[in-house]
Amino acid sequence: MRHAPCRSRRAAVLATVAVLALAGCGSDDGDEPKQGSRPVGGSSTASDPTTDVAPDADLPLTGDVELLDAGSAPRRVVLLQVEEGHTETTTIEMTATTTTAGQELTLPMTVPFTTTVSAVSDTAVDAEVVYGQPTVEPGDLPADAVAQAQASVELLDGTTATVSYAPNGTVLTSEVEVSPDAPDLVSRLLDNISSLGYASLAAFPDEEVGVGARWRATTTFTVGGVEQSVVSTYRLTALSDDGYELAMTGRSTTTPGDTVGGKVLEGSGTARGTLVGRTGLVSPLTSQGSGRGRTVVEVGGQRVETSYRTTSRLTTR
């Protein structure tokens, strides 16, 4: 009986951290990333006792983009317009509030990363993404829970991902290495947070579009070892020679499966946001969004339902 509250709190903290991976858009001005301060392959400082070795992470991949309405004239094809060597710094600021077994927890967090374009061709834009040290704010978490969350996400600092984008912004391939010394639980949470920056990107159709255009894209990624699928619908609200503005709505579903925290039985969510982009940037110039949803996980033979709310902001410079 004495262990039940501790286990409930731990599950709630892990759920809160995992929810951050679904935040989508997000952030404000923040400190620049400290590249390489915790390089891949270094020893883990996490306090979690799990010892299984995690596989390399799979970042979100964009499926087919389906044009629903081309919008009004004038129209043009929206493409990434960046050169080799281009560097930009993005900061994602997000807050997740989860409710599990009647216990509500709020966790604010900031994640910085730097994107450097390594190669540009007619068919792809290749980039290297280096993550800085995430910062977890106290929110309403108890001190021990804040320390646990901070220890988990700090392993992201210095991690490098390689990503290949199609000219229209869809993610073709992606790869990020996880330290072989990282406990499975920590590295999977790390994978979740890694997906944040990519979830906020806009994938455009190959066709010409104008103001009022609508299209649909599907993004798949892994959260805690379980596959998530997000179907996003975009509406083009403004278009210029070098930029655009979008409104987005999304609906996510979770494929049932086993995780280190329990067996996921079901999960779903919705999100909406706005995004301002420049064709000379890989990430959005600014974006903000919100989401809500629920997951049901079987832990120790018991069903644990978690509902969540997220808000997020993103800025690139």
What is the structure's pLDDT at 180? 60
Given a cut of 50, the residues of the chain with pLDDT beneath it are 1-15, 17-57, 183, 185-187, 194-198
Distances (CA, A) of 209 to 71, 125, 149, 203: 6, 21, 43, 13
**What pLDDT was estimated at residue 109?**
86
Q: What is the pLDDT of residue 22?
A: 32
Cβ neighbours around 31 below 10 Å, total: 12
Dist. CA 52–CA 136, nearest whole Å: 25
- The Cα–Cα gap between 44 and 17 comes to 18
Instruction: Give me the residues paired with residue 163 across strands.
Output: 127, 174
**pLDDT at 179 (0 to 100):** 57
- 143-153 and 184-194 helices, crossing angle to 10°: 70
Closest CA relative to residue 276, chosen from 316, 308, 312, 309: 316
**Cut 0.85: pTM above it:** no
Residue 54: closest CA among 152, 143, 170, 178: 178
**Three-class SS of residue 317?**
coil
Q: HEC string of 107-166? A: EEEEEEEEEEEEEECCCCEEEEEEECCCEECCCCCCHHHHHHHHHHHHHHCCCEEEEEEC
pLDDT computed for residue 61 by the predictor: 67
pLDDT confidence of residue 224: 60
Tally of CB atoms within 10 A around 2: 5
Residue 266: what residue type? E
Token pair, residue 249, equals 């709505």
Q: Write the pLDDT tens digit of every residue in 179-237.
A: 565 545 444 555 555 444 445 668 899 999 999 999 999 887 766 667 778 888 999 99
- Ranges assigned E (strand) in 47-102: 61-69, 87-100
Find the distance separating the first CA and the last CA of the chain, reported in whole Å: 51
